[in-house]
Structure 1
Amino acid sequence: MRLGLRLPQRLGVDLQHDLVEAARTAEAAGYDSLWTYERLLFPESPLEPYAPPDVPWPESSRQVADSLAVLTAAAVVTERVRLGTAILIAAQHTPVQLAKAFATVDQISGGRVIAGLGTGWSSDDLRAAGATRADRGRFLDETLDVFDAVWGPDPVTFRSPRVVIDNASVLPKPVAKIPVMLGGGGSNLGRSTSAKAVQRIAQRADGWLPLLTAPGPAGAAELRASWNRIREMASEYGRDASRMEMVVVGNVTFTERPAGRDRSAFVGTLDQILDDVHTAEQAGADELIVDLNLQDWFTSTAQMLETAVEIREGALAV
């Protein structure tokens, strides 16, 4: 199983220097990919909590630097690692501009970009971008249609309720087809992911970006069952499911003492986190994204990177 690292975008990051240092350090440490995430703003009274029923957003999340700008900086100073978004919210972007931005970064990186997209859930962010929760699925489908059109040969002709392209060149093109991966919430498809979202992943995506919600064998079994079902559905649509990837997102929260049996995955001590890395592998993950952005107790990006290297070395030793 490969390991990826989410780049620092949080409050307190020196965007001029920390981003390139993080990208270089992660690549040198053997990480296989670098990832970014998206949050537009942080209201004083958010409409939804960080986690139900009332867990507040971490203070560090008040800043989330622009995802594609961060990936561009990483592209310039790396040579090998893949560069992905996990995830961008389609409804918060104009489809043609987003397609052009991805293609541009792909050209800069020499063809290393992965487009990870999702419907989103923050009403605050969606409203700021001129969208609503009701628009989410429809706008994501439209964005995927636009990607197919404008990343294909010119001239492009395309029509949808929001987008009209009439026999035009749309450049630059990606180096090759950019893999599109879709997020779909938790690992239990019946509870956390809608039937439409599952169908979209199976029918249109090159891979799935789930969260591992439970540690240990039970968590691995649940995630593997969900992934098997998605690939079965993909095969029913006539797609080659063996070419699809599952890239698990691990949002790490360290605790001073071992977390109890009822802990969530990637919450606990370093040893527990490393156990969860192994659980993701047992579930059949092709790759795991290690996310340390939500650690309020990190005093610097250097400290975050030391921990990232420690996790990488510990995972190799398992």
Structure 2
Amino acid sequence: MRLGFGLPTFGPAANEVNGIARFAADAEKLGASSLWVGDRLLTPVDPSVGYSPGSPAIPDEFRVAADPLAALAVAAAVTGEVRLGSSGINAPWYPPALLARALASIDVASGGRLVAGFGSGWSPEEYQAAGVPFDGRGARLDELLDVLMAWWTTNPVEHRGPLFTIPAGHVGLKPVQRPHPPVYLGAFGRRALRRVGARADGWMPVWWAPEAFPAAQLTEGWATVRHAAEEAGRDPAGIGVILRVNVAAGTPVTVVAQEVLRMRSVLPASEVFVDFTFVAGTVDHTLDLAGSLLDLVSAG
């Protein structure tokens, strides 16, 4: 199981000048296998939906949020081997042609190290700020994925759908990875899980340290993905799993290591990455935690 880390794109650490570049370069030296970004636009003063089920609150850390595409580009420039992923970009916020171009550019700049992870988000206020309808976001994501596939794999590129129109045009910049960078989807709802099985290269579930919900939710979700793949005529064995582990405030790194190691028996994840946003307030602290976790997991 490979172990990666979230880049410091949220909270006080995201305000540190050159912090993303320094973290990326140093985390690679420590032995991280991958580096990841999330996607937040703003924290509403009066949110209609909270971050956690049953709670109206949104963590203060999300009040500071760096652009995920810019962060991936910075990390690509200062690293040479680690995979660079998004978990996940809230794809419906973005014009699909612009998103396709940006991600292709990052894959080229990194020499083919991009993992394109997408979600549909949960905040109506962020959708309003992005100028995109909150309703119908699932259909918007589906068609956006169609555009990405066309943009990355054909030339000239053309797409005509109910939401987006791409007139036939020459697009010569293609990702290094062929036919395209792996596309992973974050999902917990049944319809979203079925989308993973029907069309994605992999699933990106979320876990918490310490445990915040029964692990059975992960295994049941994975079963839904596999069943949907079979129904779509796909081989479930070809669908990957990359697990995100969010660390709750005040959690010792030893507990994080225990949860990471426990996940080996829960999901067939090829990669686990840990996000210390709610624990570490500086880049140096995040690097210290990452180094300690790498040592503990290696010893376990």
- What TM-score, normalized to structure 1? 0.87
1:181 is aligned to 2:188: no
1:208 is aligned to 2:203: yes
Residue in 1 that maps onto 2:294 = 312
Q: How many residues align?
A: 295
Aligned-residue Cα RMSD (Å) equals: 1.9
Deviation above 6 Å: which 4+ runs of structure 1?
Answer: none
Counterpart AA for 2:262: T
3-state SS of paired residue (1:166): strand
| Distance (whole Å) between structure 2 residues aligned to residue 3 and residue 38 of structure 1 | 21
| Distance (whole Å) between structure 1 residues aligned to residue 200 and residue 101 of structure 2 | 19
Structure 1 position 244, deviation (Å): 1.6
Residue in 1 that maps onto 2:88 = 87
Structure 1 position 53, deviation (Å): 2.4
Counterpart of 2:272 (choices 268, 288, 312) is 288
1:223 is aligned to 2:238: no
Counterpart AA for 1:48: V
3-state SS of paired residue (2:136): helix
| Distance (whole Å) between structure 2 residues aligned to residue 55 and residue 252 of structure 1 | 20
| Distance (whole Å) between structure 1 residues aligned to residue 246 and residue 131 of structure 2 | 28
Residue in 2 that maps onto 1:3 = 3
| Distance (whole Å) between structure 2 residues aligned to residue 113 and residue 213 of structure 1 | 24
Structure 1 position 21, deviation (Å): 1.0
3-state SS of paired residue (2:206): coil
Deviation string, structure 1 residues 28-53 (Cα, Å, up to 9, x no partner): 11111110000111222222222232
Runs of 5+ consecutive residues of structure 2 not aligned to the other structure: none
**CA 1:145–1:299 in structure 2 vs 1: closer, same or farther (change >3 Å)?**
closer
**CA 1:279–1:221 in structure 2 vs 1: closer, same or farther (change >3 Å)?**
farther
Structure 1 position 170, deviation (Å): 2.1
Counterpart AA for 1:243: G
3-state SS of paired residue (1:167): strand
**CA 1:15–1:98 in structure 2 vs 1: closer, same or farther (change >3 Å)?**
farther
| Distance (whole Å) between structure 1 residues aligned to residue 4 and residue 174 of structure 2 | 26
3-state SS of paired residue (2:35): strand
Counterpart AA for 2:201: D
Residue in 1 that maps onto 2:54 = 53
1:279 is aligned to 2:253: no
Q: Write the mapping of 1:4-83 to structure 2, written as runs, cut at 5 A.
A: 4-12=4-12, 13-54=14-55, 56-83=57-84
Q: Is the 8 A contact 2:5 2:32 kept in 1?
A: yes
1:244 is aligned to 2:262: no
Counterpart AA for 1:2: R
Structure 1 position 307, deviation (Å): 0.7
Counterpart AA for 1:52: P
Q: Is the 8 A contact 1:27 1:81 kept in 2?
A: yes
| Distance (whole Å) between structure 2 residues aligned to residue 201 and residue 77 of structure 1 | 32
Counterpart AA for 1:159: R
**CA 1:56–1:221 in structure 2 vs 1: closer, same or farther (change >3 Å)?**
closer
Counterpart AA for 1:199: R
Runs of 5+ consecutive residues of structure 1 not aligned to the other structure: 186-192, 256-267
Q: Is the 8 A contact 2:3 2:294 kept in 1?
A: yes
Q: Is the 8 A contact 1:213 1:219 kept in 2?
A: no
